Chain A
Amino acid sequence: MVDECQKCSRCNHRFYLRKYRSIEYTFAWTIAAMVMFIPANIYPMMVFYQLGNANESTILEGIAAFIESGTYPLAIIIFVASFIVPLGKILVLFILMAKTQSNDRRRPILQTKLYRLIDSLGAWSMLDVFVVVVLAGVVNLGFITSIEAGLGITYFTLMVICTMLATVSFDPRLLWDSVLNEKKDAKNSVEQALLLDSNGKENKEQFNNG
């Protein structure tokens, strides 16, 4: 029944009982994001030309430059947004995918809150990309100073898009399916215990009427 396509009565959108092949798509996008993360950190994000001298810097080198020049808040913002958030999203998505398969019935609320967190934090990794785009556009003063965007930007953008698509394709209702199945199993077993009691008929009537 999960693979049966239905049509919404309000907006005519075709949908499935759960998101279409949720785990497969999420897993694929997360692996793609992990693969993209490596060249995003190896290739330079920004090439800084000053009087003819080229100075390339990757994400981590840029953060180190911020720390050396003393602007700690900026370094922390860029470190969190460009390094911690993507890695954290990939890690949390792996954990959530594992939880849907493991029949773990404890704390589904915490897992749903985790999903909501990475859903809202999704786009903030693009901060570094926008910084480089604005800098490359503004600092275009010919020979004196000019900034060019490096190859790392392309891979970083691809990685952010992959993580966002992975979050969109994950269905949080899968986290609750094992919880609800357990409740249904428990109810069935209680029903059966009541019915198989020594005062069998009496309990059955009580259960049917109550």
Chain B
Amino acid sequence: MEYKDIIDQCVACEECDGFAIKPTLSEGQIAKCNQCGATLFDRKVDPINRTLAISLAGLIVLFPAIFLPVIGVDTLGVFNEVSLISSIVMMIEEGSYLVAVCVFVFAIAVPVVRLFSAFYLSLCLKVNYIKPSLLVFFRSYHQLDSWAMLHIFLLGIIVSMYKLVEMTNMTVGLGMYALVFLLLCSTLISITLDQDLIWGSLESVVDQKNS
């Protein structure tokens, strides 16, 4: 047996560096580290088709979620509506450039990149168009995982809705429903995307390129 065949069967835990033999899992099972209990990897149910469908749905509602107004306020005859983009523009006008950039990155840019990466990856796997350049997309998906804050933005809107309801008349716009749907798609993608499967299929192409 070659050295490479042996190490293909082994896996190291990311959190405690514990060594384990890679088990063959059936769909829906999770492998956890012996020493520290962290998740090593898990096989998802029907990853490619489901990720393709959900990420396509997310891309369709992306533009309405960003540009349509989310909440509107009406007091003493003066009316004002805000969408995701207009709140960022408002921050720029007021001079808080850092906050505007941060909100843009965490609430718009990172979820868009993740969504598009998931869509492109599942599409390429579906039509079997596997190239080493896919690695860039997948690594960006993997590393941006903890920096997507769309769910916190939605909770922030809900908290501010509480505060606005007592002051003024408040209306909910179409952008709100699109935003909720976008968040739903974004969360479902992290459930249906099988990372180990993608690494495995990309690895064979990288080996061919390196050898």
B35 contacts across to A, CB distance below 8 A? 109, 176
On whether the beta carbons of B15 and A172 are closer than 8 Å, the reply is yes
Partner of A133, one of B87, B135, B138, B168: B87
**CB-contacts of B145-189 with A (<8 A):** 146-147, 149, 152-153, 155-157, 159-160, 162-164, 166-168
Q: Which positions in A face B, CB cutoff 8 Å?
A: 9-13, 69, 71, 74, 77-78, 108-109, 112-113, 115-116, 119, 122-124, 126-131, 133-142, 144-145, 148-149, 153-154, 157-158, 161, 164, 168, 172-173, 175-177, 180
Of listed B106, B146, B152, B167, residue having the most chain A CB within 10 A: B152
A158 contacts across to B, CB distance below 8 A? 98
Interchain Cβ contacts within 8 Å, total number: 158
B109 interface residue, CB < 8 Å from A?
no
A142 contacts across to B, CB distance below 8 A? 78
**CB-contacts of B70-123 with A (<8 A):** 70-73, 75-76, 78, 80-82, 86-88, 90-91, 94, 96, 98-99, 102-103, 106-107
Chain B residue, CB-CB nearest to A174? B17
Q: How far does the alpha carbon of A164 sit from the alpha carbon of B147 in the complex, in Å?
A: 9
Partner of A10, one of B82, B102, B199: B199
On whether the beta carbons of A119 and B146 are closer than 8 Å, the reply is yes
B191 interface residue, CB < 8 Å from A?
no
A77 contacts across to B, CB distance below 8 A? 159
| Shortest beta-carbon contacts, A-B, top 8 | A130-B156, A137-B87, A137-B82, A173-B17, A176-B16, A141-B78, A137-B90, A172-B15
Partner of A13, one of B107, B139, B207: B139
Partner of A139, one of B80, B135, B138, B146: B80
B162 contacts across to A, CB distance below 8 A? 71, 74
Q: How far does the alpha carbon of A144 sit from the alpha carbon of B80 in the complex, in Å?
A: 12
On whether the beta carbons of B76 and A127 are closer than 8 Å, the reply is no
**CB-contacts of B9-28 with A (<8 A):** 14-18
Q: How far does the alpha carbon of A140 sit from the alpha carbon of B75 in the complex, in Å?
A: 11
On whether the beta carbons of A123 and B152 are closer than 8 Å, the reply is yes
Partner of A138, one of B16, B149, B164: B164
On whether the beta carbons of A148 and B78 are closer than 8 Å, the reply is no
On whether the beta carbons of B149 and A135 are closer than 8 Å, the reply is no
Q: How far does the alpha carbon of A74 sit from the alpha carbon of B156 in the complex, in Å?
A: 11
State how many angstroms separate the Cβ of A72 from the closest Cβ of chain B: 12
On whether the beta carbons of A161 and B102 are closer than 8 Å, the reply is yes
B203 interface residue, CB < 8 Å from A?
yes
B30 contacts across to A, CB distance below 8 A? none
Q: How far does the alpha carbon of A13 sit from the alpha carbon of B37 in the complex, in Å?
A: 26
What are 9 inter-chain pairs, A to B, with CB distance below 8 A?
A11-B135, A12-B135, A69-B166, A109-B36, A112-B36, A133-B99, A141-B73, A161-B102, A173-B15
